Structure 1
């Protein structure tokens, strides 16, 4: 794969602060980031591109922005609004998200199903916002409600394959996510008829990997830490630029977090140096991440990752059908996709047609 240099720049490597929680995003991209941003109140009106929306609820606050549930005053339709306050000498992070969602419009119909629809965007006096599809709970939120804060193997494998398809759709657009974790994948809402699938969200840390001619942009050096420490790839600890393979590495950590009873070896670790060493051990000895013998096929994905270089594109079909599907069958997992087609059938699998929402609500237990 040919590399193309695009605006190369040297950056001083600045690791995240030592007392940061592993689950929290690294807050070091902008040192002058305000600690408190304006939060809109319920009932407040937002006007964007001649449409007026009323704030119904406050959904979340990220490192750079806030998300609200809003209702269209004209027809009562529900949407989500993401808003970022302006900061001196800083470019809006939501511009990255808007760029990705604009690119989605040119994707295949099948790939478009993995993303929110961008309805409108506007630049206000002190902020920038955009209106998009309203989704349901994140996988992180759903997982916290489960016993031991992990999914059943059945549900976890389904979510793993669905989120892999989300990453594939994003990578086809020429972007990488750089903050792959359960809280950045959501289920759809039944009232929007989007409860059949899992969706990828929050592209505030995304990076364009491909030029218009399909050539890969050359890596930069001394990269500042971006993403969430718990799921960040090893290269981010080392100050190296990310590519497609780093998203897959973070996805592997997410898979372990969703289905592995022992969770991630560094889940409770606070020292970044120790977390880095744990991740190095994963590549030296994949058993350190998936200890049980039943995970032998999953460990093959780590060996595959170990061979990849910055310029390599991912073999999603191999990940899906070589290690993952055989492991699912061996583990007696069974589920169907949005169209009702059986993806995997195992001896102890459940019977019947289930949507993702129903599967997550029931969370079928197949550990024993």
Structure 2
């Protein structure tokens, strides 16, 4: 068991391999997926059929605790269970499988989903999706928010980490997660609740609405504002201007300043269309309904102007996974080759008989063979990366670091050899220059990635 597993076992008796008796079946705990202050998520499977895997959320029983996050989640998931059940529509909410309580905790067993958008984004070069993927995913994220609002709830913590893609046949569907701080915005009569005079900050600083920063009661418009920041986070290569800032007040100022500058969009085209969406959101009041169709139409217009088809926007997840796989495979191949070459080079530098014009001919021939092998592998990698300019940009940085490592090791070897043999006058800068010319010429490290 990991230390996290041991912690949960000590507190509530849950550990990998343990049996859990539910109301509808018996389950086996597989492993811990994630944890927070008062709860955790485990992967489990049905004891009678190990192919049936689920996610189980648990919440510790806390004495005198008024609000249960898990009860809120169960309440919402029960309400939205039949949302978007048409043949061409998606349900963006995970299905409830089972639920109950034990001596030390409450549990909710639900449909297992794949990686979060946050994790998927991290696997991408530049940490962003392709535009077609990002726009398609963004539309699904907004659909989920719209469906939640239809049931009179606001989420209050929308961010890439709280969305995930499905598994298997649902891999093209985006699911909204974690309703722990969601709030019902209507009273028992279905009327909009009177806003409280002051509320506490709720959510995540990077994606929080301005109303949230100002401790003003939030409504549906604030979820949509958070969604807009989320969309930009998925597709803007430069990222949100405040992405590395944690202080709430500083982030609030930047959100206000960049609105005035109309400069949240980095190198994206169609800046005016994105700005139109934000301007529309900013004009909404607490009591207003959101015109989701206006936003969908704007996104589709952006996609059209960018040459992204509806089909690409819907099904690009599959290609996205393929791209990630190819990119990671290509990157690993090249990095492994560079590590081998660096290791070989380091070991061999001390053995080279350096002369004023270069190095021993026999050794050069052997070295040339290794460099030629590296060059061929890098050319193969280049072919794999063709069509991914952002990948080449990131990989070029690795190659530049590689060249610097070669030079550093060579110079260190020279200094070591000088001390041993007193040949300082024979070995000069020209030797270094000749060696590096040879390396760069043979690997063509820069030329084939720059053109």
**Shared fold, TM over 0.5:** yes
Which structure has the greater CA radius of gyration? Answer: 2
**Structure 2 CA distance, aligned partners of 1:331 and 1:272?**
34
TM superposition shift of 1:292? 4.9
TM superposition shift of 1:169? 1.2
Q: Secondary structure at the match of 1:329?
A: helix
Partner in structure 2 of residue 130 of structure 1: 108
Equivalent position to 2:40, from 46, 62, 66 = 66
TM superposition shift of 1:288? 3.9
Partner in structure 2 of residue 92 of structure 1: 68
TM superposition shift of 1:212? 5.4
User: TM-score w.r.t. structure 1 length?
Assistant: 0.79
Equivalent position to 2:25, from 41, 44, 51 = 51
The answer (yes or no) to whether the contact 1:187–1:357 under 8 Å persists in 2 is no
TM superposition shift of 1:252? 0.8
Partner in structure 2 of residue 163 of structure 1: 141
Partner in structure 2 of residue 216 of structure 1: 192
Equivalent position to 1:272, from 242, 245, 248 = 248
Partner in structure 1 of residue 370 of structure 2: none
Partner in structure 2 of residue 40 of structure 1: 14
The answer (yes or no) to whether the contact 1:180–1:247 under 8 Å persists in 2 is yes
Which is helix-richer, 1 or 2? Answer: 2
1:261-294 per-residue CA deviation (whole Å, 9 max, x = no partner) reads 2211111113222111012224434324557553
Q: Secondary structure at the match of 2:59?
A: strand
Partner in structure 2 of residue 180 of structure 1: 158
Q: Please state if 1:248 is matched with 2:209.
A: no
The answer (yes or no) to whether the contact 1:181–1:231 under 8 Å persists in 2 is yes
**Structure 2 CA distance, aligned partners of 1:250 and 1:129?**
29
TM superposition shift of 1:230? 1.2
**Structure 1 CA distance, aligned partners of 2:71 and 2:265?**
36
User: TM-score w.r.t. structure 2 length?
Assistant: 0.65
TM superposition shift of 1:295? 2.0
Unpaired segments ≥5 residues, structure 1: 1-35, 337-341, 344-352
Unpaired segments ≥5 residues, structure 2: 1-9, 325-386, 392-451
Alignment of 1:276-355 (within 5 A): 276-288=252-264, 292=268, 294-321=270-297, 323-336=298-311, 354=315
C-alpha RMSD of the superposition: 2.5
TM superposition shift of 1:189? 0.8
Inter-CA distance 305–356: structure 2 relative to 1 (3 Å threshold):
same
1:42-96 per-residue CA deviation (whole Å, 9 max, x = no partner) reads 1122222152111112111134421111001123311110001122321321111
Query: How many equivalent pairs are there?
Result: 317
Inter-CA distance 236–304: structure 2 relative to 1 (3 Å threshold):
same
The answer (yes or no) to whether the contact 1:60–1:67 under 8 Å persists in 2 is yes
**Structure 2 CA distance, aligned partners of 1:285 and 1:291?**
15
**Structure 2 CA distance, aligned partners of 1:288 and 1:187?**
26
**Structure 2 CA distance, aligned partners of 1:253 and 1:276?**
13
**Structure 2 CA distance, aligned partners of 1:37 and 1:187?**
31
Higher RCO, Cα 8 Å, sep 6+: 1
